Structure 1
Amino acid sequence: MKIVVRNAVSQDIAELVQLENTVFKTDRISRRSFRHALNSDNSALLMACEIEERDGTVIESIVGYSLLHLHQGTRLARLYSLAVSHLARGKGVAQALLQASEQEALSKNKIVLRLEVNEHNIPAIKLYEKFGYRKFGHYDAYYEDLSNALRMQKRIRHLSQERVSVALPWIQQGTPFTCGPASLQMGLAALVKSYMADPDDELQIWREATTIFMTSGHGGCHPMGLALAAKKRGAVAQVWLSDKSPLFVDGVRDALKKDIVTRVHSMFAKECDDKQVPIRYFAMTLSDLLMAFDGGAIPIILISTYRMDGKKAPHWVVLSGYDDQCIYVHDPDPSSNEHSSVDCQYVPIAREDFEKMSRFGQTRLQTAVLLSTT
């Protein structure tokens, strides 16, 4: 007998569901979720099969699986689930699945593989530690039975430098249009000891910083508005902008809405001048951002989500670290049910991809709000 790992196919789903229901008492993956993973470009479903030859006939028995989520636009992969049949324990199935999962993530050009494991699952924790996974966090009441999870990760492609990062809390945006306020709250919580982030203040920041209209739906947040909100809450803030023209008007077709967005821009610019919030107009480089980060500032950066979801939407994230190949961000938006807060912290994005993502719209707008204490 030998263990072979292969890609799952639709004919495996019934056995996958049976295995899932046998191995796990809670937090089970549904038939629909397995089918979705098989049809998704951002997931990989691997099967471990025990191969046996009997009387010249090859018999294949499914003894385990692993499910990977491959985060579009980033260098992050997540080992969402790994299961081994009770009858196949001690045969190296988990090890084979783990190694195959790492190779699958590497083939998709991922750098970091993350996972969650029940803190009471000592055999699994020892296996992960044996293969180089290190604990980097703790997630209370993560599972349906309210047991806790350990966060673990491994650098599956080695880099030449250690990551430079800042301790930054992660805050999830409470609405589809408050990525800016949630990002600002992360920076404020890290820098201003007296600041307490709460959902009401998230909405209040949006009210203070909104552009009122965007291409459709609710308006997002203007960098000047975010900087003014930051100063009001005890931080030192400055705005970096690549363009002096009114922001976000290119995608607004309605003449009245375009006029309002333009007037809001002018009002923010005047208020920044009145309240001595610096605005620096220049084409910022990644080196400029990292130099400010090394100096103690926390940059909140506007990116385009096109490489992440294909929607070309403006989105605010927080720079939380970097190394010689990647920029790391805290993203306030878990964009699908496949993502958890673990996936949204220190998200690795290749430097060349980040430089493209940090230019928004037809004008290639670059903007950031830099928070500091001095």
Structure 2
Amino acid sequence: MMNMGFIITKASLRDLNAILKLEQVCFTKDAWTFLDVAGTLIASDIIRYKAAYGEELAGFAAAEIRKSEQTGWIITLGVFPQYRKQGIGSALLKACEKALLPLKIRLCVSTKNHEAIHLYKNIGYREVGIWPSYYADHCDAIVMEKNEQESISDAL
């Protein structure tokens, strides 16, 4: 998938170091560890996409299916600051959504992350709950959801 100069492809273990750097830049105290990222990149049941300009990583997203909930979860989505506002976050999110169809899709986002909340609302997500003190800084997480019909219409 190609948009405005960046390419969305499946992420692999070769992207480990760049994704670790992305996690530190985007999530600081809540950044995934080496084992978290490595596990995500090698687990057969994890959906993972990267956005790149040439060989340079611009963003990363991963999702999983929670069969017990009949729900797809976007488990991480990050874009380096210099690549924001170019449609990369939306493109990564839509790639994950397409892979999760026909499930309802959920994600969580810090109440402080107004940019991401705005992105998710614009793509059709709505608030369905709050997880108090979810993040390392004790900030609450907003749980957002997009139902099947919204996801299907966006994917077409």
Fold shared, TM-score > 0.5 on shorter chain: yes
Equivalent residue runs for 1:291-310 within 5 Å: none
Corresponding residue of 1:8: 11
Q: 1 CA distance for matches of 2:100 and 2:104?
A: 8
Corresponding residue of 1:149: 141
Matching of residue 34 in structure 1 with residue 37 in structure 2: yes
In the alignment, is the contact (CA less than 8 A) between 2:73 and 2:107 conserved in 1? Answer: yes
Residue 157 of structure 1, CA deviation: 4.1
SS at match of 2:30: coil
Would you tell me which structure has more strand in proportion to its own residues? 2
In the alignment, is the contact (CA less than 8 A) between 2:30 and 2:136 conserved in 1? Answer: yes
Q: 1 CA distance for matches of 2:16 and 2:42?
A: 12
1:111 to 79, 94, 103: 103
In the alignment, is the contact (CA less than 8 A) between 2:109 and 2:141 conserved in 1? Answer: yes
| Matched residue type, 2:146 | K
2:80 to 82, 85, 97: 85
| Matched residue type, 1:144 | A
Q: Structure 1 stretch 5-14 or stretch 39-48: which is displaced more?
A: 39-48
1:128 to 106, 109, 120: 120
Matching of residue 95 in structure 1 with residue 95 in structure 2: no
Q: 1 CA distance for matches of 2:84 and 2:20?
A: 19
Q: Which ranges of structure 2 fall in alignment gaps of 5 or more residues?
A: 151-156
Count of paired positions = 147
SS at match of 1:36: helix
| Matched residue type, 1:99 | K
Residue 128 of structure 1, CA deviation: 0.7
| Matched residue type, 2:144 | M
Q: 1 CA distance for matches of 2:106 and 2:37?
A: 20
Residue 34 of structure 1, CA deviation: 1.6
| Matched residue type, 2:85 | G
Q: 1 CA distance for matches of 2:149 and 2:34?
A: 33
Q: 2 CA distance for matches of 1:76 and 1:112?
A: 5
What is the root-mean-square deviation in Å for CA atoms of aligned residues? Answer: 1.6
Q: 2 CA distance for matches of 1:156 and 1:29?
A: 29
In the alignment, is the contact (CA less than 8 A) between 2:12 and 2:42 conserved in 1? Answer: no
Q: Which ranges of structure 1 fall in alignment gaps of 5 or more residues?
A: 51-58, 159-374
Would you tell me which structure has more helix in proportion to its own residues? 2
1:301-320 deviation digits (Å, cap 9, x = unpaired): xxxxxxxxxxxxxxxxxxxx
Residue 70 of structure 1, CA deviation: 1.4
Q: 2 CA distance for matches of 1:3 and 1:156?
A: 27
1:198-257 deviation digits (Å, cap 9, x = unpaired): xxxxxxxxxxxxxxxxxxxxxxxxxxxxxxxxxxxxxxxxxxxxxxxxxxxxxxxxxxxx
1:65 to 60, 75, 78: 60
State the TM-score, normalized to the length of structure 2: 0.87
Q: After TM superposition, which residue ranges in structure 1, 4 or more long, deviate above 6 angstroms?
A: none
Residue 124 of structure 1, CA deviation: 1.0
Identity of aligned residues (%): 27
Matching of residue 43 in structure 1 with residue 38 in structure 2: no
Corresponding residue of 1:265: none
Bigger radius of gyration, 1 or 2?
1
In the alignment, is the contact (CA less than 8 A) between 1:42 and 1:71 conserved in 2? Answer: no
| Matched residue type, 1:65 | F
1:308-340 deviation digits (Å, cap 9, x = unpaired): xxxxxxxxxxxxxxxxxxxxxxxxxxxxxxxxx
